[in-house]
Amino acid sequence: MHAHPDDESINNGSTMARYAAEGVRVTLVTCTLGEGGEVIPPELAHLAQGWDDTLGAHRINELAAAMRELGVTDHRFLGGAGRYRDSGMMGVPDNENPACFWQADVDEAAGHLVAVIREVRPQVLVTYDEQGGYGHPDHIQAHRVALRGHELAADPAFRPELGPAWRIAKVYYNRMPRSVIEAGLRRTAADAPFKGVAPVDQIPGVVDDEVVTTALDNAAYVGAKAAAMRAHATQIVVDGNHFALSNELGQPLIASEYYQLVRGTPGPDGPETDLFAGVAR
Ligand SMILES: [Zn+2]
């Protein structure tokens, strides 16, 4: 469950590629088209909100290309493409747009997710923490809708016409261990293909290392992750083992991905290295 096209590749690209390659069904639900994003390539600047305002349609294609790189065939927009509009960063006037995701009724939005959950019947749900990882309104709202959808999907009294109740066994937040990102940012600063490096407080999901319950060593899939990130060309520039968003501040492109189990039972064999530890795939 993600807020905008590109979040999935940045946060979970190697995880999605790994499970898809291992034959596990992977479903991506994206909540908005990312219409409010800044556009990096000058020749595409006209797509942006305030100019042609056609960035959303363009990003549908970028997301489809990213999913091909990850080998993921099931990707959907919450309530259908364009149902919820990008809310922009916290505090901007777009936050007040009645069409934006930040203004969505949480239970109504969660109903769209319940329909997907009851159809797909997943064992695992991945979302952001209550701060949306770094405070973006669409990411905060995605967190709220994901947890509400998880709850309502398991309630047989909620909209039985959407299918039989289904309880997802495990729910995770995306995480980034502080020691890993600090070391990565030092590498990026040393190589410096960009004008500077991103401050740690702009990196989503950073927590003290001991908060992380689950570390996936996805080294074999870092190439797929990088290719998927490159597919979001309006949003991301990838340079070797580093990348930058429109602010041109470098970040490390890290193969391993990290999670915090927040609902369900940890796997039986100590610190988890698999989101499906203890549950059937
Ligand atoms: Zn986002």
pLDDT of residue 2: 98
Q: What is the mean pLDDT of residues 19-39?
A: 98
Tens-digit pLDDT profile for residues 151-167:
999 999 999 999 999 99
Mean pLDDT (the chain, rounded): 97
In tens, the pLDDT along 98-119 reads 999 999 999 999 999 999 999 9
Rounded to the nearest whole angstrom, what is the distance from the C-alpha of residue 270 to the centroid of ligand 1?
A: 32
H-run or E-run covering 68: helix 55-70
- CA 131 to each of CA 9, 68, 117, 128, 173: distance values in angstroms, whole numbers, following the listed order: 20, 30, 23, 8, 11
The CA 276 to ligand 1 mean position distance, Å, reads 25
- The mean pLDDT of 1-19, rounded to a whole number, is 98
Q: Is 150 annotated as a binding residue?
A: no
CATH 3.40.50.10320 for the 7-176+210-217+258-263 domain, yes or no: yes
4 is in an annotated binding site: yes
Strands (E), 157-224: 170-177, 196-197, 206-207, 214-216
As a whole number of angstroms, the distance between CA 246 and CA 37 comes to 9
**What's the 165 CA to ligand 1 centre distance in angstroms?**
30
**Spatial separation of the C-alpha atoms in residues 205 and 182, rounded to whole Å:** 13
> What mean pLDDT do residues 79-99 have?
97
46 in Cβ contact with 53 (< 8 Å): no
Query: Which tens digit of pLDDT belongs to each residue from 248-269?
Result: 999 999 999 999 999 999 999 9
pTM: 0.97
For the chain, the domains span 7-176+210-217+258-263
272 Cα: distance to centroid of ligand 1 (angstroms): 26
Q: How far is the CA of 6 from the centre of ligand 1 (A)?
A: 7
Q: How far is the CA of 39 from the centre of ligand 1 (A)?
A: 14
Write out pLDDT tens, residues 49-77.
999 999 999 999 999 999 999 999 999 99
242 is in an annotated binding site: no
pLDDT at residue 192, as a whole number: 77
145 Cα to the center of ligand 1, angstroms: 15
